Amino acid sequence: MAVFEQDLKLESRLVQCGVGRDKTTGAISFPIYPSATFRHPGVGETTGFDYTRTGNPTRQVLEETLADLEGGERGLVFASGMAALSTLFLKFDSGDHLIVSRDLYGGTYRVLEQIFARLGVTASYVDSTDLAAVAAAIEPRSRALLVETPGNPLLGVADLEGLGALCRAHGLLYVVDNTFLTPLLQRPLAFGADVVVYSATKYLGGHNDLCAGALIARAPALGDELFFLQNSTGAILPPQDCWLLLRSLKTLALRLGRHEANALPVARWLDGHRRVEQVYYPGLPQHPGHQLSRRQAQGFGGMLSFRVDAPETARRTLKRLRLISFAESLGGVESLMTLPAVQTHADIPEARRLELGICDRLLRLSVGIEALEDIIADLAQALEG
């Protein structure tokens, strides 16, 4: 999808999103069109816009921007990441089977197990860092593979190219949730993905002030099908929020650079702390996905998890944090820490959670863009208390 005539780098495309698109006024910041409906010039004639659920000028600029950044044919934005995923899942019929990463956002697990399973769409959860395990989970009725990489909350790294080959060989729709890395750091369509999913609430939005989601389809036919589902079921992103997300995208490269620049030293610091047993960050050389990550991604992102020595240490740390907030979510400029077993992943049954390693000693940290010294000082005082 050619939004720019020049061959610009992603950083420039981000900054320039929406610029030059408002032909009537030349506004640099593309305007918000809070109009539910649009006047028709005559019968059978349209300005290109009829009704906002179907299409809105602000949303169109955002959707085209996201498709352009990802290298896809069509972008669609939704009221949340879960709205985007749920709309995608509506593509499947009763009897269809999905293969899904087990190191997965808890809400995705919940919607599949508690809603789509009831409608006859079932899922198997596999270790997607293990190609053989994914291959072994394929059944005759399997229709799609949904991968999150790096995984949540354990940051496992899946082989995007290997999984792409597997999907092609078995005719599976290949879906990648790229929320943790964004198109700046990881480009799933280049590895054969058919659809990229985002919770734009996270890095794309980046300020903890917006809830949004996106789907980007590689091929036109799939884009049309997803648009049909979006327009029919209506979980669209409102124009005001589309504008805020466009505004946020302009600084994505700067923000992400700083998140990453902070995350590696924080991971190293935690790794040397006497109360920390293990640190999960793909940027650490000892991380099992480190080499793969170097090959397939342009960076390691700003998310890490760590296991402390006792449940009491985890609880006390959360209580004592001052700069870092104990809160769900991730990818915003403010550092946030959470206890996945109790918060983000509470809907995963305990036995499965423990099997995965999501225990009450595991903390997840979304490293913000504050001064590195301040983040480390807060961790130091909270862990030592």
Ligand X SMILES: *Cc1c(COP(=O)(O)O)cnc(C)c1O
The contacts of residue 150 (CB under 8 Å, 6+ apart) are: 156, 157, 180, 181, 282, 289, 293, 300, 301, 303
**Which listed residue (21, 202, 361, 364) is catalytic?**
202
- The Cα-based distances of 374 to 55, 99, 215, 265, 380 in angstroms read 44, 41, 36, 12, 10
Contact between 238 and ligand X by CB under 6 A: the answer reads: no
- The Cα-based distances of 259 to 67, 263, 266, 303, 335 in angstroms read 24, 6, 10, 9, 9
Identify whether 353 is a catalytic site residue: no
**Which listed residue (177, 194, 241, 378) is catalytic?**
177
Considering only residues 275 to 334 of the shown chain, the ones binding ligand X according to CB under 6 A are none
The residue count for binding ligand X (CB under 6 A) is 15
Contact between 105 and ligand X by CB under 6 A: the answer reads: yes
Q: How far is the CB of 199 from ligand X (least distance, A)?
A: 3
Q: Report the C-alpha gap between 383 and 385 in whole angstroms.
A: 6
Contact between 199 and ligand X by CB under 6 A: the answer reads: yes
Contact between 237 and ligand X by CB under 6 A: the answer reads: no
The contacts of residue 173 (CB under 8 Å, 6+ apart) are: 91, 143, 144, 145, 167, 194, 195
- The Cα-based distances of 237 to 10, 80, 226 in angstroms read 23, 8, 15
Contact between 54 and 231 (Cβ < 8 Å): yes
Site string for ligand X, 70-89 (x = CB under 6 A): ----------xxx-------
Q: How far is the CB of 105 from ligand X (least distance, A)?
A: 4
In Å, the largest CA–CA distance within the chain is: 73
Q: Which amino acid is at 320?
A: R
How crowded is residue 293: how many other Cβ atoms within 10 Å of its Cβ?
23
Identify whether 177 is a catalytic site residue: yes
Residue placing its CB nearer to ligand X in the complex, 57 or 183: 183
Does the bond joining 349 to the residue before it have cis omega, within 30 degrees of 0? no
**Which listed residue (33, 105, 280, 281) is catalytic?**
105
Out of 74, 97, 202, 364, point to the residue binding ligand X (CB under 6 A): 202
Residue placing its CB nearer to ligand X in the complex, 21 or 259: 259
Q: How far is the CB of 95 from ligand X (least distance, A)?
A: 25
Out of 213, 223, 282, 299, point to the residue binding ligand X (CB under 6 A): 213
Identify whether 33 is a catalytic site residue: no
Contact between 179 and ligand X by CB under 6 A: the answer reads: yes
Contact between 340 and ligand X by CB under 6 A: the answer reads: no
Q: Report the C-alpha gap between 312 and 45 in whole angstroms.
A: 66
Q: Report the C-alpha gap between 11 and 59 in whole angstroms.
A: 21
Q: How far is the CB of 80 from ligand X (least distance, A)?
A: 3
Contact between 215 and ligand X by CB under 6 A: the answer reads: no
Identify whether 202 is a catalytic site residue: yes
Residues designated catalytic: 53, 105, 177, 202
Site of interaction with ligand X (CB under 6 A): 80-82, 105, 107-108, 148, 152, 177, 179, 199, 201-202, 211, 213
